Amino acid sequence: MKPEIRTTILDIFMKNSGYARTKEILDQGIHNIYLKELEKEGIIQKVKHGLYSLTDHENYNSMHEALLAVSNAIICMGSALAYYDLTTWNPTEVHLAIRHGRKIVLPVYPPIQLYHFSGKFFETGQTTIALESGHRIRIYDKEKTICDIVRYRNRIGIDIMKEALNEYVKQKDINLNKLYTYAGDLNIRSVLDTYLEVLI
């Protein structure tokens, strides 16, 4: 590979915080065979079909990479709990919500756990945040995350739910009005009341 081709390809990765799509390389008149060459050298790795990342770059974030791999998904459940410091649980997979009925081919890496939400369960509480790495990601806000944990308490474990509720009420930037509004809209108000009444 000519040095100028290598430089052009790596410049594209650097401009995109360590990521590049095959189309971006082809748009520069560079054959995708050079991507395969860089992959064999261990300089880049395949995230999914048509998407690559630098093997070692300081801006790496598994949540951002998961959202690149699964379009129109939202960080949820355990990953959102961990982001908001509401749990000591550190899931090995990135938890993503997608619309019910979507069929997804998951990437080899990062490991992803999908949750299929429909209607208001998918739409409620979406927000966008900026990570320290500089990436912007879609994630459910703190109150929607609490509602999801209550709703899926039997799947993730009652202890994890109780810990999250306990940590939530300790934090200063909580919004109980929003939490109760969400809980009413999502039909979990009575369950939430049962667990919260001993904490607040």
Q: How confident is the model at residue 67 (pLDDT cuts 50, 70, 90)?
A: confident
Structure tokens at 35: 């991507």
For the chain, domain boundaries? 3-54, 62-196
Could you tell me the end-to-end alpha-carbon distance of the chain, in angstroms, rounded to an integer? 64
Q: Residue 29: how many CA atoms within 13 Å on its side-chain side?
A: 2
Q: pTM for the full model?
A: 0.72
* 167 C-beta neighbours (distance < 10 Å), count: 16
In this prediction, residue 133 carries a pLDDT of 66
Return d(Cα 200, Cα 64) in angstroms, integer: 35
Return d(Cα 71, Cα 75) in angstroms, integer: 11
Return d(Cα 124, Cα 186) in angstroms, integer: 9
Concatenated DSSP letters of 16-63: TTTEEEHHHHHTTT--THHHHHHHHTTSEEEEETTEEEESS-TT--HH
Q: How confident is the model at residue 80 (pLDDT cuts 50, 70, 90)?
A: very high
In this prediction, residue 57 carries a pLDDT of 62
Is 184 strand, coil or helix? helix
In this prediction, residue 58 carries a pLDDT of 56
Res. 17: pLDDT tops 80: no
- Mention every residue, 6+ apart, whose C-beta is less than 8 A from residue 174: 142, 143, 168
More confident residue, 71 or 152: 152
For the chain, the maximum distance between any two Cα atoms, rounded to a whole number of angstroms, is: 67
What residue type is assigned to position 68 of the chain?
L
